[in-house]
């Protein structure tokens, strides 16, 4: 099934729906069902945590100027094409390479949980 191949890819539900030529809500429902099924097969949540479709990441790194961990993605540099980040507190804008060694990504938004289609796993460490 083509949908199963998309589960581990970090793409939006809309992108998956376009690729498979189905409705957005079908992708949302299928994703929630697959995640529930994976939790039944493996209650530790190890396999379910690999499902990335629809999940939006957030950088978890301290700002190089003020040190606060309130950094967000801020587009790309127009000349080099490098990813930029900005601090929500001091408004500093900097290149990803400046903090690349300390960078971790955490889950900022999971549409399956936000919509109530899936309960957060107690083993979920994303």
Instruction: Indicate whether 50 and 65 sit together in one domain.
Output: no
Residue 8 lies in a domain: yes
**49 lies in which domain range?**
2-54
Q: Which two tokens stand for residue 85?
A: 């980040």
Half-sphere exposure of 123 (CA within 13 A, CB side): 11
Question: Taken in order 103, 16, 3, 114, is the CA torsion positive or negative?
Answer: positive
Residue 8 near residue 54 (C-beta atoms within 8 A): no
* Domain assignment of residue 65, yes or no: yes
**Assigned domain for 114 exists:** no
Examine residue 111 and state whether it is found in any structural domain, yes or no.
Answer: no
Say how many domains are in the chain.
2
Is 38 a residue whose pLDDT tops 90? Answer: yes
| Whether residues 65 and 49 fall in one domain | no
Same domain membership, residue 69 and residue 48? no
pLDDT digits 0-9 by tens, 54-112: 888 888 899 999 999 999 989 998 899 999 999 999 999 999 888 888 877 776 667 77
């Amino acid at each position: 099934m083509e949908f199963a191949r998309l589960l581990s890819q970090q793409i939006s539900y809309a992108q998956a729906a376009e690729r498979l030529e189905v409705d957005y809500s079908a992708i949302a429902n299928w994703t929630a069902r697959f995640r529930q099924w994976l939790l039944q097969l493996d209650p530790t949540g190890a396999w379910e945590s690999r499902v990335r479709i629809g999940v939006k990441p957030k950088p978890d790194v301290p700002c190089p100027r003020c040190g606060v961990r309130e950094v967000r993605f801020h587009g790309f540099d127009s000349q080099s094409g490098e990813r930029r980040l900005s601090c929500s507190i001091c408004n500093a804008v900097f290149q990803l390479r400046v903090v690349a060694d300390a960078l971790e990504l955490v889950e900022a938004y999971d549409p399956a949980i936000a919509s109530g289609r899936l309960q957060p796993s107690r083993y979920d460490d994303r």
